[in-house]
Amino acid sequence: MKEILLLKLGELVLKGLNRRVFEDTLLKNLRRRLSPLGRFDLRARQSTIVITPLSEDVDMDEAADRVGRVFGIATYSRAGVAKKNMESILETGKTYLAPVLEAARTFKVEAKRADKTFPLKSPQICEEMGGFLLEQFPHLSVDVHHPDVTVYVEVRDFGAYVHGNPVRGAGGIPVGTGGKAAVLISGGIDSPVAAWQMARRGLELTAVHFASPPYTSERAEQKVVDLLEQVGQWSGRIRMFTMPFAHIQEEIRDKCPEELFTLLMRRFMMRIAERVARREGCEALITGESLGQVASQTLQAICCTDAVVSMPVFRPLIGSDKADIVATARRIGTFEISIEPYEDCCTVFTPKHPRTHPHLQALEEAELALDCEALIDESFENARVRLIGGPAQGKEGSL
């Protein structure tokens, strides 16, 4: 039996005159994500995208999994294809949904007749399908309020389809419709979640990671690559910039007050990330900070770190508690990677008593002992860039 994927659009249906731009970007993202699996026909009409495989050997399990990670899709379903007559629709429902109906106790039928030339109206389609399935599966009973399975019949301009309960999609809006932003990425739990949440709002991601060898290992950097590969399954391709940071940390350690170490490092990170962002055509920075979670994330500390950049800084986790963040990390598959026990540059020079309510003037005075521009230039001279996802996956180069 021929099988297709039915994708339902989410908030894209609320867009006005520019809705076509969002749909075209979504179709492009879907084609890119599915292209390694084979050839597909993609058709968008009536707030639905129909994906039809053009060869028999397509892995539909993998195709469905990939579609479920594309932002802009509210729900998706694998559906059996029927001819546009009730005899074919009934037979398709019986055959295609047999495994789920045999395992269920209750069901109901919902029909959508988008093709108004079809002779039966939606209530009549439901009545015929419901009666037919009760005859074919006598153990079933109808429950219109809380059924185990809902059988959906969709009669559209371009075909008739039968499917069971839809699967929740990634939601959001298509990547590429919201511009570009650079995310400061570490090996922790928070920043990958922040990256995912902003990609979900249509942002194309560039990642900036700070490495501090010999204080941090190659495995610590690989952990960040692994995290970005996982985020990239949702966001698409990500350019990752690895910025050397050890010399900056050593200079801060040797020349500045210990209680200001963390904030001074954060200010350098923001300066470097902004320079990378402007180089890559990004219009904002993204961080994984949550208000009050650690000493460098108090309101005063955040104001002091933001003072060194002029572009907007998005903090999608700012009002989230750790349980919320962990729940999202588990959903997107980054949590188990994040808790791997490899060091992070942010924890290498942690002061015993960090300043939680800093004054901007004190930080600016401490930085007078440093040649900030020279240190930043040195980091860029030794930076590395690689592409996460796409045909050049893992290929490294210098700036």
Mean pLDDT within 117-131: 97
Confidence of residue 78 (pLDDT cuts 50, 70, 90): very high
Confidence of residue 397 (pLDDT cuts 50, 70, 90): low
Contact status, residue 351 vs residue 262, Cβ threshold 8 Å? yes
For residue 283, the surrounding DSSP H or E stretch is none
Mean pLDDT within 72-97: 97
User: How many Cα atoms occupy the beta-carbon half-sphere of 352 within 13 Å?
Assistant: 0
Q: How far apart are the first and last CA of the chain?
A: 52
12 — phi, psi (to 5°)? -60, -30
Task: Give the number of other Cβ atoms within 10 Å of residue 76's Cβ.
Answer: 22
Report all structural domains of the chain as residue ranges with CATH numbers, in order of start: 3-168 (3.30.2130.30), 180-398 (3.40.50.620)
Give the pLDDT of residue 269.
97
pTM: 0.90
Give the pLDDT of residue 136.
97
pLDDT tens for residues 24-54? 999 999 999 999 999 999 998 878 999 999 9
Given a cut of 80, whether residue 345 has pLDDT beyond it is no
Any idea what the Cα angle at residue 279 is, between residues 29 and 288, rounded to 5°? 65
What is the rounded distance in angstroms from the CA atom of residue 286 to the CA atom of residue 307? Answer: 15
More confident site: 349 or 178: 178
What is the rounded distance in angstroms from the CA atom of residue 73 to the CA atom of residue 292? Answer: 34
Confidence of residue 172 (pLDDT cuts 50, 70, 90): very high
Q: Residue 241 in 3-state DSSP?
A: strand
